[in-house]
Amino acid sequence: MDCVIARRVRYGSLSVVEAGDRSAPALVLLHGIGSSGDAFLGQADLQMGGLADRWRLLAPDAPGYGASDDPPEAPGIDGFADGVARLIEDAGVAEAVLLGVSWGGVIATRFALRHAERLKALVLADTSRGSGFDSKQAGMMRQRARDYAADPAAFVRDRTPLLVADGCPVDVVEGVARIMEEACRMPGYGHAAESLAETDHAPHLSSIDVPTLVVVGEYDHVCPPSDSRLLVEGISGASYVEIPGTGHLPNQERPAEFNQIVGDWLDGLLP
C-alpha cells in the first residue's frame, strides 16, 4: 500500500500539512508547544496505518510557528482556538474532529468550549487542563519560554530527551529535535507558553458533550497519565487509552500503534 502524499497548503495566515480527499470528513491535528504540523506526517502515512485514506487531515503550523505568519499580538488561548475555527472555515469545512497533542490538546479543549457547533468529536493526546491552576506551574511554563529565548539550540538539545520514552529509536528522537529546531521561534514560543500559563480548564470540562477520546503515553513525564485521567473524570463519557512504552509523543514514537488506537475509535464516528 502506498503512503499518502502530504502537501503543504496555505489557508489564510496558516501553513498547513494536508492529506487525504478534500471531500472526506475533516480531522484537524494540533501540535505541541515545541513542534509543527510536520509532527503528524506519520498520521498521513498509510504504510503506518495512517488515517488519510478516510479522513481529510489538516495539520497547521500554529500562529508564530514554522511557515505560518507571526500574529500581530499574543493570541491567548482564546485566540489560538479562534484561529482553528478560522482555519476550518477557510478550508470549507462545516464541522471537524479535533486531535490535539500536548499544547494542541489545550487549544482543542478551548475550541470545544468556544466553538462546539463546529466540533464533531475530540481526541486529547498527552495533554492537560493547562498550567494556570497553580502559580508555581504557571511560573515554570513562563520560565521555559525565557530559557528557550536565551539559547534555542541548548534548549532543543536538553528538552528533546524528556519528550520521548527511554529506548526511543534514534531516528525518531532526531526527528523530534529537527522539527523543534525548524518550527520554533520567538515570540511564538512565548505566546504559546503564556497561553498555557493562563489556562485552567478543569472547572469547565463538564460542559464538553461531544465524543471524546483521551490518549496518553505510559511514560509521559511532561503531561503524565494522571493529567489525562483528570480530563476523563471531567468530560462525561470520555474514553481513555494508555499506550505502553511511549512518552509524551506517541504519535511520533509509535505512529502505527497510535493510528490504530485513534483510527479504530474514529471509525465509530463515520456513517
- pLDDT tens sequence across 39-57: 999 999 988 989 999 999 9
- So what CATH class is 7-267? alpha beta
**pTM for the model:** 0.97
Segment 168-194, tens digit of pLDDT: 999 999 999 999 999 999 999 999 999
Which pLDDT belongs to residue 1? Answer: 43
Collapsed DSSP state (helix, strand, coil) of residue 212: strand
The grid cell for 65 is 510557528
How far apart, in whole angstroms, are the C-alpha atoms of residue 163 and residue 76?
24
3-state secondary structure 87-107: HHHHCCCCCEEEEEECHHHHH
**CB neighbourhood size of 117 (10 A):** 8
Q: Per residue of the chain (271 residues), what is the pLDDT tens digit?
A: 455 679 999 999 999 999 999 999 999 999 999 999 999 999 999 889 899 999 999 999 999 999 999 999 999 999 999 999 999 999 999 999 999 999 999 999 999 999 999 999 999 999 999 999 999 999 999 999 999 999 999 999 999 999 999 999 999 999 999 999 999 999 999 999 999 999 999 999 999 999 999 999 999 999 999 999 999 999 999 999 999 999 999 999 999 999 999 999 999 887 7
Cα first-last separation, the chain: 24
How far apart, in whole angstroms, are the C-alpha atoms of residue 89 and residue 84?
9
Helical spans, DSSP H, in 115-222: 135-150, 152-159, 170-183, 188-197
Q: How far is CA 69 from CA 20, 123, 187, 192, 266, in A?
A: 24, 26, 11, 14, 31
Q: With beta carbons less than 8 A apart as the criterion, state whether 62 and 71 touch.
A: no
| Boundaries of every domain in the chain | 7-267
Quote the DSSP letter at residue 214: E
Nearest to 65 by CA among 82, 83, 43, 89: 83
Which pLDDT belongs to residue 243? Answer: 98
Q: With beta carbons less than 8 A apart as the criterion, state whether 237 and 251 touch.
A: no
Q: With beta carbons less than 8 A apart as the criterion, state whether 48 and 78 touch.
A: no
The grid cell for 141 is 511554563
Q: How far is CA 28 from CA 44, 139, 163, in A?
A: 12, 30, 22
Nearest to 39 by CA among 93, 103, 134: 103
> What does the CA dihedral 93, 97, 103, 106 come to, rounded to 10 degrees?
100
How far apart, in whole angstroms, are the C-alpha atoms of residue 78 and residue 86?
12
Quote the DSSP letter at residue 24: S
